[in-house]
Each structure stands twice: as structure tokens, then as C-alpha cells.
């Protein structure tokens, strides 16, 4: 019997500064209901799906941004999303900024089962951008100021009758993210993102944002024989244009569904987890073909060493 999960990638359009959490949760619930009508088992929302992408602003006192972080999940304001998911029998994956009780700040994503229970939490490993204010930029990307990198790494959890892993935005550009999960037998990787079109350090990359987005997720899926679901918060948010192009990628590397807009939009695909084995059992049979004895530099070294 095949293991098909009907997955909805619930892309969001922009969330402006003055949009309330209640309004945003209302949009998430609308998408969840649309997904239920399409018989989805699982709905994937973007990175930082409850607020605007606040790392585009720098403040000297980080606590001025505390209102963008969640101190509990579910909270009073997000509980209706959990309740509706349970009522509909649809699981979901949600990205948000997390502030722990002992003061740590993470860029976090959770996986919630169809009964509304949180089955997994992932905290972003690769934190892009910069630590300090760079006033000459048109906008900041100060994720390295607002979030610390996770030391927990990439886990794989048994959920939805599959082996599920998570990554967040910039993680998708690093082959190591996929491979660490591949080595745990991942079958489904869920990834929310916020990707500004304008890349300030090298604007020649601006027109390539869509190409690079597809390139990394398609190759990550294929090289690890896994489904990859990439979900954007797109559109013009507080004057900054962000990429849409949410997509569902098969273990073959083929895109099986892709968003057409940069707004709230649900795309759906029936994803057969047994399809992974066609790749992990043949060309990418890791046990048979990998050569870890010559890959030592991957974990022993961070930057380039030119002898
Ligand atoms: N959110 C996030 O990780 N965005 C980055 C932007 C490029 S680095 C400034 C990304 O990799 O898409």
C-alpha cells in the first residue's frame, strides 16, 4: 500500500507592521479550511508566519522587539489555529520567533499532528545576514542580531506515517542540511522562508532569486531522495519585495506544484512517501555508495583552507 500524504503549501502574502496577530491567525485559519476542502493531511506555513519580517529593522535595545517573539506555543492568540486544525483533522507546520523563559531567541518551526499535539520543534541552524546595524543598506537583514543558531541540529521525526524533517529558509541553501536528515532516512522536509528579492551584498543575484530557490530545493530533494516543501512569505512587506514561488518538490527533483502569486495562496500535491525509496534504494543508496572516509573536511573544517 502506498503512503500518500496530501500536503498543502500555504504561502502567505505580506504581513505589515500594523497587522495584528489575530488578523494573521485568521488568515492561517482560512488557508487551513481551504486545505481541508482539498483533503489535505498537512499544511505548511512560512518562516516567521505570525509577524512581519522584523529583522529588516535594527534597534539598539533588542527588548523593544520582544513583542514579535512568542513566549509560549500555543498561546492565547494562536490557540484558535490549533483548535481548528484539530477540529478539521489537519496537521500543520508553523514558523515563528521564539523567546525562551531563560532569554534565548530562536527562529523556530513546529510540527503539529492532526490531533493538535506538537510533535516536533526545530530551531534554525544557519542564521544569515549580519549582527550589527548597517545604516547604508536600504533595509537590514539582522537575523544574526535577533536569533542565535540552534545547537540541536537537524532532527527527523516519525509523523504522518512518514519520516519528517524541518529546515528554515537559509538552511535550504546548504547541502549539509539535507544530507544530515538524509542520513536519518528523511522522506519529507518542510521549509518555510522569507527571501528578499534584493540581495544587498551582491545585487547581480537579484534576478536569480527564483532560480536559486528552485535550484537548491530541487537538488536537495533529488540527492537525498526526499520530498521537499518550500513555503514563502512573499510580496511587498513594508517596502521590501520578497520571493513567492512556494513549491512542492518530489524525490525525483521535479516540481509538482508551484505558487503563481506572491499572496496568500494554497498549492496542493499528493505526495507518496514510498516514492523516496526509488532514489534512496538505487542511485542514492548511501550505505552502498557513500565514501565518508574521504569526507572528513565536511565536519572538521568550517571555512576554506587553501594549501
Ligand atoms: N530568512 C532567510 O534566511 N533569508 C535569507 C535571505 C538571504 S541572506 C540575507 C535566504 O537565504 O533566503
Q: What are the two backbone dihedrals, phi and then psi, of residue 71, each rounded to the nearest 5 degrees?
A: -100, -10
H helix intervals, the chain: 21-37, 79-88, 143-146, 175-182, 209-224, 276-280, 286-289, 297-300
124 is a catalytic site residue: yes
Ligand 1: residue whose CA is nearest its atom 4: 195
Say if residue 1's pLDDT is above 70.
no
Query: What is the H or E stretch that residue 157 is in?
Result: strand 156-159
User: Cα dihedral angle (232, 233, 237, 242), rounded to 10 degrees?
Assistant: 0
- Tens digit of each residue's pLDDT (9 = 90 or more) over 262-299: 999 999 999 999 999 999 999 999 999 999 999 999 99
Q: Which ligand 1 atom is at minimum distance from the Cα of 168? A: 3
- Tens digit of each residue's pLDDT (9 = 90 or more) over 233-266: 999 999 999 999 999 999 999 999 999 999 999 9
From the list 40, 169, 271, 276, the catalytic residue is 169
26 pLDDT band, cuts 50/70/90, is very high
Say if residue 67's pLDDT is above 90.
yes
For the chain, give the number of residues: 307
169 is a catalytic site residue: yes
Q: Please state, for a pLDDT cut of 90, what percent of the chain lies above it.
A: 99
Ligand 1: residue whose CA is nearest its atom 1: 194
- In this prediction, residue 2 carries a pLDDT of 78
CB atoms within 10 A of CB 244: 24
Mean pLDDT across the chain: 98
Instruction: Name the grid cell of 266.
Output: 494554497
Let me know if 2 is exposed, middle or buried by CB neighbors in 10 A (0-12, 13-18, 19+).
exposed
Ligand 1: residue whose CA is nearest its atom 6: 195
- Taken in order 101, 104, 109, 110, the sign of the CA dihedral is negative
Amino acid at each position: 500500500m502506498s503512503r500518500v500524504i496530501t500536503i498543502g503549501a500555504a504561502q502567505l502574502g505580506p504581513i505589515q507592521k500594523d497587522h495584528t496577530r489575530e488578523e494573521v491567525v485568521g488568515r492561517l485559519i482560512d488557508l487551513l479550511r481551504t486545505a481541508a476542502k482539498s483533503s489535505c493531511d498537512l499544511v505548511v506555513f512560512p518562516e516567521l508566519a505570525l509577524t512581519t519580517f522584523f529583522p529588516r529593522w535594527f534597534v539598539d535595545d533588542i527588548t523593544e522587539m520582544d513583542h514579535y517573539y512568542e513566549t509560549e506555543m500555543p498561546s492565547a492568540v494562536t490557540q484558535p489555529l490549533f483548535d481548528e486544525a484539530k477540529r478539521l483533522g489537519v496537521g500543520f507546520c508553523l514558523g515563528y520567533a521564539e523567546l525562551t523563559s531563560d532569554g534565548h531567541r530562536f527562529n523556530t518551526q513546529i510540527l503539529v499532528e492532526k490531533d493538535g499535539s506538537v510533535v516536533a520543534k526545530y530551531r534554525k541552524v544557519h542564521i544569515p545576514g549580519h549582527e550589527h546595524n548597517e545604516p547604508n543598506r536600504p533595509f537590514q537583514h539582522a537575523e544574526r542580531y535577533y536569533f542565535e543558531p540552534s545547537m540541536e541540529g537537524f532532527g527527523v521525526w516519525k509523523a504522518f506515517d512518514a519520516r519528517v524533517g524541518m529546515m528554515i529558509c537559509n538552511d535550504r541553501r546548504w547541502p549539509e542540511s539535507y544530507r544530515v536528515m538524509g542520513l536519518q532516512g528523511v522522506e519529507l522536509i518542510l521549509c518555510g522562508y522569507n527571501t528578499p528579492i534584493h540581495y544587498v551584498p551582491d545585487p547581480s543575484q537579484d534576478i536569480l532569486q527564483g532560480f536559486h530557490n528552485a535550484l537548491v530545493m530541487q537538488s536537495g530533494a533529488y540527492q537525498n531522495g526526499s520530498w521537499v516543501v518550500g513555503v514563502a512569505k512573499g510580496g511587498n512587506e513594508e517596502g521590501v519585495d520578497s520571493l513567492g514561488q512556494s513549491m512542492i518538490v518530489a524525490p525525483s527533483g521535479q516540481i509538482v506544484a508551484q505558487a503563481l502569486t506572491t499572496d496568500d495562496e494554497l498549492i496542493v500535491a499528493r505526495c507518496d512517501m514510498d516514492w523516496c525509496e526509488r532514489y534512496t534504494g538505487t542511485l542514492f543508496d548511501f550505505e552502498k555508495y557513500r565514501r565518508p572516509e574521504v569526507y572528513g573536511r565536511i565536519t572538521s573544517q568550517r571555512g576554506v583552507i587553501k594549501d
